[in-house]
Each structure stands twice: as structure tokens, then as C-alpha cells.
Amino acid sequence: MTYHFSKTVDMPFDAAVTAVTAALQKHGFGVLTQIDVKETLGKKIGVDFRPYLILGACNPKLAYEALTLEDKIGTMLPCNVVVQQHDPGVVEISAVDPVASMASIENPGLGAVAGKVRELLRQVVADVA
């Protein structure tokens, strides 16, 4: 089982970030955190890394449902979506597969919530064109 689903798009990095953010919103997610890996690695260890952004996405209704089923599930929230540039104009969008990441938790109710989130995140990735 893979832990993510991804696709590559031909667009500028900033346009891809805008498209991913819009797709997340369309499917009920907000972006709680945004980590600019390129900037952070440059400041912290002086390396020049490719444009790489981690978006911490959350669907409040499904997060609430998961939290009521498992009080420590917050250790796995929010769901990360990565936007990274491989070449100029070639950007990969990747989203965590919550079913894979929560497979070790023996709670059928939580598995059902993870399945809902999985389908929404697949739609988010598919929507970016």
C-alpha cells in the first residue's frame, strides 16, 4: 500500500499552489499550516532546495468526527499536501493517504472517516490541472 497519491502538472509553482489551495477549499478543507521547505532549509542549514511547500489541510467536520473516535488522532492531523517543483513548469502535487497512515489504529469507525478523507484528497489532486 502506498502512503500518498500524486500527479504532475505543467504549470508554474505559484499557480500550482493557488490551484491546490482552491481545490482543497472546494472539497471542504482549509489550510492550517504552510511550511516553505526551500526557505526553511536555506535559513537553517544554508542549502538551496527546490520549491517545496507542505500544506497542512483540515476538513473540520471530518477532523471532529475523527477526534471523537480517537482522542489522540491529533498526532496525525492535519493531512499534508505537498507541492514541489521538479523542473521549471513541472510541478508534482502529492497528498497523504489517510487510510495508509491510520492503518495501524484498530478502530473501524476511524477507518471509515479516513476513507472519506482519502476520497476527498484524491479529488483535490485530480482537480489540479
**Who's near 36: CB < 8 A, 6+ residues apart?**
52, 53
pLDDT tens figures, 34-43? 999 999 999 9
State the residue for C-alpha cell 485530480: 126
Extents of the domains making up the chain: 4-127
Q: pTM of the entire structure?
A: 0.95
**Distance (Å, rounded) from C-alpha 69 to C-alpha 87?**
42
CATH class of 4-127: alpha beta
pLDDT tens figures, 90-120? 999 999 999 999 999 999 999 999 999 999 9
At residue 71, what are phi and psi to the nearest 5 degrees? -70, -15
- Residue 123 pLDDT class (50, 70, 90 cuts): very high
